[in-house]
Amino acid sequence: MVTSSVLPKVVDDAGEGEANPRRAKWWYATFHSVTAMVGAGVLSLPYAMAHLGWGPGTAALVVSWGMTLYTLRLLIELHECVPGVRFDRYRDLGAHALGPRLGPWLVVPQQLIVQLGCDVVYMVIGGKCLMKFAESVSSWSRAPQLHHQSYWICIFGASQFLLSQLPSLDSITAVSLAAAAMSVGYSTISWAACLARGTPAAAEGGGGGVSYAYKDGTAADSVFRVCSALGQVAFAYAGHGVVLEIQATIPSTPTKPSRGAMWKGAVAAYLVTALCYFPVAIAGYWAFGRDVSDNVLVALRRPPWLVAAANMMVVVHVLGSYQVYAMPIFETLETILITRIRLPPGALLRLVARSAYVGKNRSDRPPPIAARTDRIFASVHG
CB neighbour burial string for 259-295, b if at least 16 within 10 angstroms, e if fewer: bebbbebbbbbbebbeebbbbbbbbbbbbbbbebbbb
Where are any strands of DSSP class E within 39-180? none
CB neighbour burial string for 151-167, b if at least 16 within 10 angstroms, e if fewer: ebbeebbeebeebbebb
Task: Say which DSSP state 345 is in.
Answer: P
> For the chain, which domains are there?
26-200+211-380 (1.10.4160.10)
Coil/strand/helix, residue 372: coil
Q: What is the pLDDT of residue 27?
A: 93
What is the per-residue pLDDT across 245-294, written as a single tens digit (0 to 9) for each? 999 999 988 888 999 999 999 999 999 999 999 999 999 999 888 888 87
The secondary element (H helix, E strand) that includes residue 308 is: helix 304-339
180 near 31, Cβ under 8 Å? yes
Supply φ then ψ for residue 295, to 5 degrees: -140, 100
Q: Which residues contact 58 (CB under 8 A, 6 or more apart)?
A: 49, 281, 282
Q: What is the pLDDT of residue 143?
A: 60
Cα–Cα nearest to 91, from 177, 192, 5: 5
Per-residue pLDDT of the chain (382 residues; tens, 9 = 90+): 443 334 443 444 444 444 567 888 999 999 999 999 887 678 889 999 999 999 999 999 999 999 999 999 999 999 999 888 899 989 899 999 999 889 888 998 888 888 888 888 889 888 888 888 888 777 655 566 566 778 888 889 999 999 999 988 888 999 999 999 999 998 998 899 888 877 655 444 444 577 878 887 788 888 998 998 998 898 888 788 899 999 999 998 888 899 999 999 999 999 999 999 999 999 999 988 888 887 787 777 667 788 888 889 989 999 999 999 999 999 889 988 998 888 888 889 999 999 999 988 776 554 444 444 444 343 334 3
Q: What is the pLDDT of residue 3?
A: 39
* Interatomic CA distance for residues 338 and 328, integer angstroms: 15
Q: What is the pLDDT of residue 15?
A: 42
User: pTM of the prediction?
Assistant: 0.83
Q: What is the pLDDT of residue 139?
A: 63
185 near 26, Cβ under 8 Å? no
Q: What is the pLDDT of residue 377?
A: 40
Q: What is the pLDDT of residue 8?
A: 42
